[in-house]
Structure 1
Amino acid sequence: MSRTPGEFRIVDKLQKLGDDIQPKQLKYHNRRVLVSKEFTFDAAHHLHAYEGKCKNLHGHTYKAVIGISARPNDIGLTADFGLIKEIWKSRIETYLDHRYLNETLPPMNTTAENMVVWLFEQMEEALASEEVKPLIHEGRTEFIRLYETPTSYAEARREWMTGE
């Protein structure tokens, strides 16, 4: 039966593992691939030694974009998005969401430039941990982008953090 492009249809046959595709075919390649996940959080902070309106206590709805690269596992996944979310929730978000950042982060001026490096370090530490390392083959943080406003962000990239 011939179909026209864009015509609605339901699949003729649902592909079945072992019959239509073999387990060894699930991993299509062994190239490093980057996956990215975004998170938002609301927090308050103020800047020290700064003569502008940010010297006063104020808040932002931040957006963090995390880019992780790895080699695919046996079923073709580089890094499960759910695992990235779990790392965020368990290791990072607790220090950020609805917090006073000057109190919950290490001693630093809570600029986006300082915070993005802290985020990079947290992700690298998580990827190197004994519980995560076996789940993401050769996983590494490639970049972190931290938006302080919808049009302003700071970014940390792997080559700047590690010299690679």
Structure 2
Amino acid sequence: MYGFKIVENLQKIDKDIQRDQLKYHNKRVLVSKEFTFDAAHHLHCYEGKCKNLHGHTYKVIFGISGFVDDTGLMMDFGDIKEIWKNEIEVYLDHRYINEMLPPMNTTAENMVVWIYEKMAEALEKRNSGQKERVEFVRLFETPTSYAEVKREWMEVE
């Protein structure tokens, strides 16, 4: 139905599209990025196999919302990656997380709140004027098991 077409004339700014057309809307939008990390931990006061030292390949998914700038961009995915690498992953990847995180039982439920708080702090420091905020963080401990926190839950009580 649709054939392959080679673009002959690459769209040029200020000629084919004007700068005031780059921002299409004034709506809040959400961007999401996911990362993985490997870490070891054990649980305290737990009678099950997780009381023993063991490891996981965790997956964390961030949902961050805000308003687009004049170019139609809310937040560059590379900026999310930079925050992850510099502010959060350094405490988690290939670490024994029981000694890296604040005193807590290193359950997925506790860790996801800590990760949310770290991302929220980093976005506040960034303060780019786009009012970015963390909407959710989902932390997978296994491919089928995760803990999640949402902004509205964090702002209540």
1:161 pairs with 2:157: no
- List per-residue Cα deviations over 1:95-145 (Å, max 9, x = no partner): 00000000001000000000000011001100100xx112x6010000000
1:73 pairs with 2:66: no
Cα distance in 2, alignment partners of residues 163 and 58 from structure 1: 34
For structure 1, the residue ranges without an aligned partner over 5 or more in a row are none
CA shift at 1:12, angstroms? 3.1
CA shift at 1:163, angstroms? 2.7
Moved over 4 A (4+): none
What TM-score comes out, normalization by structure 2 length?
Answer: 0.98
Q: Which residue of 2 aligns with 1:115?
A: 111
Q: Which residue of 2 aligns with 1:27?
A: 23
User: Where do 1:15-54 residues align within 5 Å?
Assistant: 15-54=11-50
Code of the aligned partner of 1:77: L
1:133 pairs with 2:127: yes
The one of 131, 136, 141 aligned to 1:143: 136
Cα distance in 1, alignment partners of residues 11 and 69 from structure 2: 21
SS in 2 for 1:43: strand
For structure 2, the residue ranges without an aligned partner over 5 or more in a row are none
| Aligned Cα root-mean-square deviation (Å) | 1.1
1:8 pairs with 2:1: no
Question: In the comparison of the two structures, how many residue pairs are matched?
Answer: 157
What TM-score comes out, normalization by structure 1 length?
Answer: 0.93
Cα distance in 2, alignment partners of residues 27 and 71 from structure 1: 10
Code of the aligned partner of 2:140: Y
Q: Which residue of 2 aligns with 1:89?
A: 85
Cα distance in 2, alignment partners of residues 73 and 52 from structure 1: 50
Percent sequence identity over aligned pairs: 69
- List per-residue Cα deviations over 1:6-54 (Å, max 9, x = no partner): 2111013110000000011100001000000000000000000000000
- List per-residue Cα deviations over 1:37-76 (Å, max 9, x = no partner): 0000000000000000000000000000000000001100
